[in-house]
Structure formats: C-alpha cells, structure tokens
Structure 1
Amino acid sequence: MDVIDQASQSEELVVNKSKFIGYTLVAQSRSGFLTQVHNIQKKNPGCNHIAFAYQIKTQSGVDSYFNDAGEPSGTAGKPLLNILEMKHITNSGLAVVRFYGGINLGTGGLARAYSKAGMMALSKTKLTPFVSLFYYNLTIKYNMLEIITNVIQKNDGIILDKDFGENVMLLIQLTKEGADEIVMHYPSVSINEREQPS
C-alpha cells in the first residue's frame, strides 16, 4: 500500500463547458478529510459540486468512503474511490470540484470526467510506501529526551504531544520496530501502547 506524500491540485479539465479541478488529500481521520473538503469549497466559491473519496487504514481494516455530492449515484465519488482502490492508496483521498457549464454530460460522461480529474491530481503528487504507526504513551527523564526523539524520528515516528512535569510525557506514533528498540535499549523509559485518540 502507498500513501499520497502531500496534497496537490490539478489543472482545470473542461468537458462540454463544465470545469473540473482535482485535489489530492492527506489525512488520518474522516474529520481530517472533511475539514480539507470544506477548505477546498471555500477556495472555489460558486462551484456546483465537490465529490470526494478516501481510504483510511484502521485497526480493524480499511475505512473506504465516497460522496457523489449531488451528482447521479456512482458517477462522481465512486470513480474517485475506484482510483484509490486500484492504486492501493490509503490514508489519502481525492476530491474534484465541478463548475457546471450548462450542458449535461450523462452518467458515463460524468464518471469519465471525475475519474480523469482525479487522475490528473494524482499525477501531480508522489506516492510513498505506507508505514503502519501505532500510538504510544512514553514517560522519560529529561536527560533522555534528545536520545528518544532521535529513535522516534529514525523509525518514521511522530511526536504528537509533549507534557513537561516531573518527567517528560510524550504521545507518539511509532512503528512496532521502533517501540521494540526503545523497550530493548532504553529500559528506563516507560512505554505503553494506547488506542487511537478520537
């Protein structure tokens, strides 16, 4: 599986006077995607439709979702989801803005236009291999902060939150291998896996 490296925007695609603009999206939650779709809508006042689709890796599998945004069923969001499934892309999504040009495209024409705009957006970004990250709480001494930060970064991890009290409390995302390295080499560090925050 791959993930979209960074959000991007395609050039305009014009089909029978309707204008389509494709976007790639990167997020790890449904709310993250919906926020980005809302931001795209603000950038495109007067657009008639914003169809989108995403896939998110969860602990129980893959959460796939699409929205046709008022277009005939299966003609807008579904072709975008098909692209994500065909290319094995996760924790990513596609959105396409449509400005209606006054000429109906028919269901086949719509599906082709949304699919092409989605592919155009995808061609503007790069894909990187998906790395499964898990959530952990760490409790460490202050003198270990730099060392543990380097271990986290070396293992494609992310520090999400820091709390400085008697010890340093970290909320992180990290690979299983990175967590195993901390357990093996740094026994003074308290590390506990936790559920994904809501």
Structure 2
Amino acid sequence: MTDAYRTVAERATARFEVQGSEFLGHVAPVDTVEAAESFVEEVRGEYADATHNVPAYRVPAGEPSERAPGSEPMLREYSSDDGEPTGSAGKPALNVLQQREVRNVVAVVTRYYGGTNLGVGGLARAYSRAVKDGVDAAGVLEERPHRSLVVETEYDDSGTVRGVIESTGVEFDADYGERVRFDLRVPVAEVEELRERLNDATSGRVDID
C-alpha cells in the first residue's frame, strides 16, 4: 500500500511498579504535532499530582496532502525528561517508538515516586518498559496517510454524491443544512480519483475543499 506505516491501533494505558514507584505508560494514535501536544497536556492535567509526566512522540511535521505520493514524511521526533536526570526518561521512551518502527503516535509515561531512587539505568529501563507495555496494550496496525475533504452540494445532487462516496468505503459524516455537506477522511492516494468521480457524476456541480 502506498505510504503504509505502522502505528498504534487505539489509546491504551499500562501500569506497573518498580521498588515502590508506580509507572503508567499512556499511548495514543495522532496525526499532527498539535494533536500530540494536546494529548500530552491532557495526561498532564489528569495526572497533575504525579511526580513526572514524560512525553515522547513521532509525528509527521506536515500534512499528508503536502507530500507527493510515495514520498516519506519528515518526522517530528520529540521527548522530554520532565525533571528526571538527563537522558534517563524521555530518550529511552522515544527509543522504543523508534525501535518498534511506529509513528503517528504519542506516549506519556506518568511516574509516582515511591521513595527509592532507581538510578539512571533503572529509570531508563522503567520508562522504556512503560512505553513498550503501552504500545503492546494498544496494539499495532498498518495504516495509510489520510486527509480530510469537505464536499458540498445542492440537495438535487446529494443522492448522487452520497452514492459515489459510499461506493468508495471511506469514512464520512453528512450534514443536511441549507446545502448538503459531507466531511470525509480519505486515503491520500485516493483523493484525486475521488475528486474526478464526484465532478464527473455531477457535471462539476460540487464544491470540494
């Protein structure tokens, strides 16, 4: 499949204890840097009483529509130790995502300190395990880059447009207001073909953005 990549299937959290410290590895699939940062802030808010919330993510730096089909995306890779000793938390967490060859994914490891210092090596092992366990809990699947399309048409053509959309099997939502609006999530490799089909079916009486 064109531009296929590996990512996590869903949000998940894995937890375990090491010498009294509790670790929670949260992971989620995301498509943008903004979505990754939003997830990090969400976890930090939910676990504001934790000693540390260590983030790591691998996300495309630009929109899929900005790349030529078949080209590899530029990945934004980020991690932070969030107050843990330098190199003991964020980098080990990010290394797991790299080694598992998953992207479009964000991880946050929450730690509640249990009173025993684990040392740099112990911390690195614990943060790595938290991300590994989180990824395993979420599951890994093969995905293709998608982009959002907005299709608007008059009521007279709405049945035809909906029929074309349904025949492709893409995800969509429909809103019947003054005009009919369809919000689609389309694999990047199929966008141009769908545009042509919609324009042909309506003799160009459709707005596609």
Same fold, TM exceeding 0.5?
Answer: yes
Structure with more helix by fraction: 2
Structure showing greater relative contact order (alpha-carbon pairs closer than 8 Å, 6 or more residues apart)? 2
TM-score, length-normalised on structure 2?
0.77
In 2 relative to 1, CA 178–147 (structure 1 residues): closer, same or farther, beyond 3 Å? farther
Alignment of 1:96-111 (within 5 A): 96-111=109-124
Aligned residue in 2 for 1:8: 12
Code of the aligned partner of 1:91:
N
Gaps of 5+ in 1: 194-198
Cα shift readout 1:43-74 (whole Å, capped 9, x = no counterpart): 33421000011111234511111121111222
Alignment of 1:47-86 (within 5 A): 47-57=50-60, 58-59=62-63, 61-86=74-99
Gaps of 5+ in 2: 64-72
Please report how far the alpha carbon of residue 87 of structure 1 lies from its aligned counterpart in structure 2 after TM superposition.
1.4
TM-score, length-normalised on structure 1?
0.81
Separation in 2, partners of 1:65, 1:163? 41
Q: Aligned to 2:125, which of 112, 129, 138?
A: 112
Separation in 2, partners of 1:98, 1:16? 12
Separation in 2, partners of 1:134, 1:35? 19
Separation in 1, partners of 2:207, 2:7? 27
CA RMSD, aligned part only?
Answer: 2.5
In 2 relative to 1, CA 191–128 (structure 1 residues): closer, same or farther, beyond 3 Å? farther
Aligned residue in 2 for 1:196: none
Code of the aligned partner of 2:159:
N
Secondary structure of the equivalent of 1:116? Answer: helix
Please report how far the alpha carbon of residue 98 of structure 1 lies from its aligned counterpart in structure 2 after TM superposition.
0.4
Separation in 1, partners of 2:167, 2:190? 7
Please report how far the alpha carbon of residue 37 of structure 1 lies from its aligned counterpart in structure 2 after TM superposition.
2.5
Aligned residue in 1 for 2:67: none
Cα shift readout 1:159-184 (whole Å, capped 9, x = no counterpart): 5x85743x434443312443243244
In 2 relative to 1, CA 176–17 (structure 1 residues): closer, same or farther, beyond 3 Å? closer
Separation in 2, partners of 1:94, 1:162? 34
Please report how far the alpha carbon of residue 119 of structure 1 lies from its aligned counterpart in structure 2 after TM superposition.
0.8
In 2 relative to 1, CA 183–26 (structure 1 residues): closer, same or farther, beyond 3 Å? closer
Identity %: 22
Q: Does 1:175 align with 2:191?
A: no
Code of the aligned partner of 1:69:
D
Q: Given that residues 79 and 91 in structure 2 are in contact (C-alpha distance below 8 angstroms), is that contact kept between their aligned partners in structure 1?
A: yes
Please report how far the alpha carbon of residue 130 of structure 1 lies from its aligned counterpart in structure 2 after TM superposition.
2.1
